Structure 1
Amino acid sequence: MTTAETASGATPGTRRVTIEYCTQCRWLPRAAWLAQELLTTFEAELDELALKPGTGGVFVVRVGDEVVWDRREQGFPEPMAVKRAVRDRVAPGRTLGHSERIP
Structure 2
Amino acid sequence: NVLANKYLPKGAGAVFTFDLEGGRQAGQDFISGLTLWSHLANVGDTKSLVIHPASTTHRQLSDEELVAAGIGQGTIRLSVGIEQIDDLIWDLDQGFLELQSKDNK
TM-score by length of structure 1 reads 0.31
- Structure number with the higher strand fraction is 1
How does the TM-score come out when normalised to structure 2? 0.30
Larger helix share, 1 or 2: 2
